[in-house]
Amino acid sequence: MSFITLQIDESSGIGTIILDNPNRRNSLNRFLMEELNDIIERLEELEGDVKVVILRSNFSEFFSAGGDISEWYSYTKIQAYREGIKGAKILERLENLPVPTIAAVSGSCLGGGCELALSCDFRIASESALFGQPEILLGNGPS
């Protein structure tokens, strides 16, 4: 399985999901979320082979900048609602994986990226980690 915005490593019973979209600072756009959904589906199929899942960024400066706001502006209200529901369902699937999940966070972890980390069972933060929910300044609260 090949991905563009994410990487997956399933060796030694550890499933490592690596956020790898530097141009968008790992923003949770529609494409990245679809890839994340595909990876979660794959991990569900490997039940028993993977004992733990680690979610991390490929970059020490940022975990995720959150939702891709530039993408939001192209949505109608109905599209925004549907994308929000779809994203929440993907995060819920991550929460419900039958193995422990760990978010390894360094750098900025904002908005939807923070929600992504919170969807894991455990969060390990480096000294450089910075958590926040700046979307409230846009009148949009966390899901």
Active site residues: 115, 135
Helix (H) or strand (E) holding 57: strand 52-57
Task: Note the pLDDT of residue 89.
Answer: 97
Pick from 7-21, 67-81, 127-141: least confident:
127-141
Please state, rounded to an integer, the average pLDDT across all residues of the chain: 92
Pick from 71-80, 96-105, 110-119: least confident:
71-80
Let me know if residue 115 belongs to a domain: yes
Let me know if residue 43 belongs to a domain: yes
Residue 100 has pLDDT above 80, yes or no: yes
Let me know if residue 34 belongs to a domain: yes
Please compute the mean of the pLDDT values over residues 4-30 and round it to a whole number: 93
Residue 58, classed as helix, strand or coil, is coil
Residue 141 has pLDDT above 70, yes or no: no
Q: Helices (DSSP H) in the chain: which residue ranges? A: 30-45, 69-72, 77-95, 112-118
Range of the domain at 103: 6-138
CATH code of residue 105? 3.90.226.10
pLDDT tens by residue, 44-81:
988 789 999 999 999 999 999 998 888 888 899 999 89
140: exposed, middle or buried (Cβ count in 10 Å: 0-12, 13-18, 19+) = middle
Let me know if residue 143 belongs to a domain: no
Let me know if residue 104 belongs to a domain: yes
One-letter amino acid at 25 equals R
Percent of the chain clearing pLDDT 90 (strictly above): 75
Let me know if residue 1 belongs to a domain: no
Let me know if residue 20 belongs to a domain: yes
Give 21's Cβ-side CA count (13 Å radius): 24
One-letter amino acid at 58 equals N
| Number of domains into which the chain is organized | 1
Q: Which residue has the tokens 């933060």?
A: 125
